[in-house]
Structure 1
């Protein structure tokens, strides 16, 4: 996060002093500049497998000129909430708050709970803990689901990033009811639920309260630069979040892509099947070269083994970037190659990876 946004983040909780280290975003993959700095002699172009973003984006189309030359119309923003509610199973458009990405939603959602103790079910994406700290909470990570019942703010990523762990809807609903009864909040980030088990989604359950579900647009639709995300919640909470952004929170181009893509049921179904096939292909490719895939979702595969660092270096030197984790040196995440040439380069690089020191 750039330094110019610090005052904005602190405004979420005007009565607290947030240390700068809480505001500094960590590496999450996807930085070609960082890849070139790590591997300056690698061949170009870099094959970026470090993100969980769909390499087969929703088809681009010509935007109407008004999407760029006029402020977004409220009617179009309302239409976006309607199609998002239908796509994500929310009870109604009034249960949806739209925003320029879930990243900007995270600290605002965490601020819905009074400052206290927060637990993030981990290991997982680092931004959730950072967002909770920005909102004034004392944050820890836990691998114990039952421990989430003891805090004021509980955060679960479902399916989890990076290992693909899935928390069951029944267990999450029990936790949400418990949080509501004591005035706490459960936040479930379903950023990858588009490629997860649909029956485990909590979108239909947000009307009961005590629960906010986050949905990301850019990952599954391969349009991360559009910056579009949603919070699903009870009507009062959704309205509160929406009011906090004010008018025109979602840009004209994002509205157009969101309305069209989220309405395209056929594309969504076909893409889920395609990604499952390609994930299986990637698993087989790694297996043929002695690397076992341990989990993940169809947009990313998760590996954990002693020689993960060697594999990261070997592929990086060939211009193929995986996601490695400084706090988990034996873990790697790999996204899907986007075309035949990327598949060919990955296979060639894997052939000699064990020879790299």
Structure 2
């Protein structure tokens, strides 16, 4: 029997994100590997992946592997003793579940910000408004402008604090607030450690909230390879400290290269006011450098960081090329 598609199953336009390099290659040509993709805020110098075991791939993840990852996360982020940690297959998987934690109502998501939060709440019937909200989402630091929030900004019974980019500024973390009723702190592994394809994220909240989320995502949500790599990475505090120093230096280097005012950002991505964002992106794309622009701003361009000397040289050549006014 052939089932007719439900009305809601009609194709929708994809939401605006970084990446999309295939489309850029299709338009401007060149080999994909010859492009420099600066459209995301992912660390280009990844955590070194250690050797995996046969059991990591072949066996269902056991309790010991899950406990090791959870303890590593608890220690790395200084999670309060009365809060619990849940690992999941990416922060996006957790974002999709956040609207279920409270009755459908009004949610305040200060814009501009990462658009998956609004998409998740809309999909569950919530109204997005700053008028008397029963839920609030704070992306901390915010994407794309790097805005930081504070405890005084937690003004709704359910507050989601998305700290996907906060590992570059751990002193700004609001992890201590995860003990409060209705507060959920989200962490992304892929950004800071540069392993976005591994799909690993974390929710940190009161035990009752974590129990609900655990039931929602089901058993064995995190793969064996992700459990091992994530635990080893979170246990390597020296790598994290050295990486923060390098990212800060590289972000300053990028700012010095770009002849445009800095609007904000973090040390993983920088946001510039370039005047004509689309023209600026096109000029860089002609030289196979891909950047990020936004549907809500005709002036902003966001750039991630090059990772190698060759990539820095590639960017400098693109900026200095005839016809480009992206560099003075």
2:162 aligned residue: 189
Q: Which SS does the other structure have where 2:45 is aligned?
A: coil
1:160 aligned residue: 142
User: Are the aligned partners of 1:228 and 1:254 in contact in 2 as well (CA < 8 Å)?
Assistant: yes
User: Are the aligned partners of 1:313 and 1:356 in contact in 2 as well (CA < 8 Å)?
Assistant: no
Q: Determine the C-alpha separation between the residues in 1 that align with 2:64 and 2:139.
A: 32
User: Are the aligned partners of 2:275 and 2:299 in contact in 1 as well (CA < 8 Å)?
Assistant: yes
2:305 aligned residue: 336
Pair 1:294 & 2:263 matched = yes
Q: Determine the C-alpha separation between the residues in 2 that align with 1:118 and 1:268.
A: 34
Q: How many residues align?
A: 322
1:218 aligned residue: 190
Q: Which SS does the other structure have where 1:98 is aligned?
A: strand
1:75 to partner: Cα distance: 1.9
2:315 aligned residue: 346
1:347 to partner: Cα distance: 0.6
What does the per-residue CA deviation read over 1:205-260, in whole Å, with 9 as the maximum and x for residues that have no partner? 21121211100001000000110000111111011111222211100000011110
1:271 aligned residue: 243
Q: Assess, with a 3 A threshold, how the Cα gap between structure 1 residues 190 and 355 changes in structure 2: closer, same or farther.
A: closer
Q: Determine the C-alpha separation between the residues in 2 that align with 1:115 and 1:20.
A: 24
User: Are the aligned partners of 1:185 and 1:211 in contact in 2 as well (CA < 8 Å)?
Assistant: yes
Please give the residue correspondences for 1:309-328 in structure 2 after superposition, counting only pairs within 5 Å.
309-328=278-297
Pair 1:37 & 2:26 matched = yes
Q: Determine the C-alpha separation between the residues in 1 that align with 2:115 and 2:226.
A: 26
2:275 aligned residue: 306
User: Are the aligned partners of 2:83 and 2:204 in contact in 1 as well (CA < 8 Å)?
Assistant: no
Unaligned runs of 5+ in 2: none
Pair 1:63 & 2:49 matched = no
1:229 aligned residue: 201
Note the aligned Cα RMSD (angstroms).
2.3
Unaligned runs of 5+ in 1: 1-5, 8-16, 141-146
Q: Determine the C-alpha separation between the residues in 2 that align with 1:265 and 1:119.
A: 35
1:271 to partner: Cα distance: 0.4
Q: Determine the C-alpha separation between the residues in 2 that align with 1:120 and 1:221.
A: 27
1:118 aligned residue: 107
Q: Which SS does the other structure have where 2:87 is aligned?
A: strand
What does the per-residue CA deviation read over 1:259-294, in whole Å, with 9 as the maximum and x for residues that have no partner? 1001111001110001000000010011xxx22222
Q: Determine the C-alpha separation between the residues in 2 that align with 1:319 and 1:65.
A: 39
Q: Which has the higher helix share?
A: 1
1:307 to partner: Cα distance: 2.4
User: Are the aligned partners of 1:44 and 1:319 in contact in 2 as well (CA < 8 Å)?
Assistant: no
Q: Which SS does the other structure have where 2:261 is aligned?
A: coil
1:202 to partner: Cα distance: 1.6
1:3 aligned residue: none
Q: Which SS does the other structure have where 1:111 is aligned?
A: helix
Moved over 6 A (4+): none
TM-score norm. by structure 2 comes to 0.92
Q: Assess, with a 3 A threshold, how the Cα gap between structure 1 residues 43 and 24 changes in structure 2: closer, same or farther.
A: closer
2:152 aligned residue: 171
Q: Determine the C-alpha separation between the residues in 2 that align with 1:78 and 1:348.
A: 48
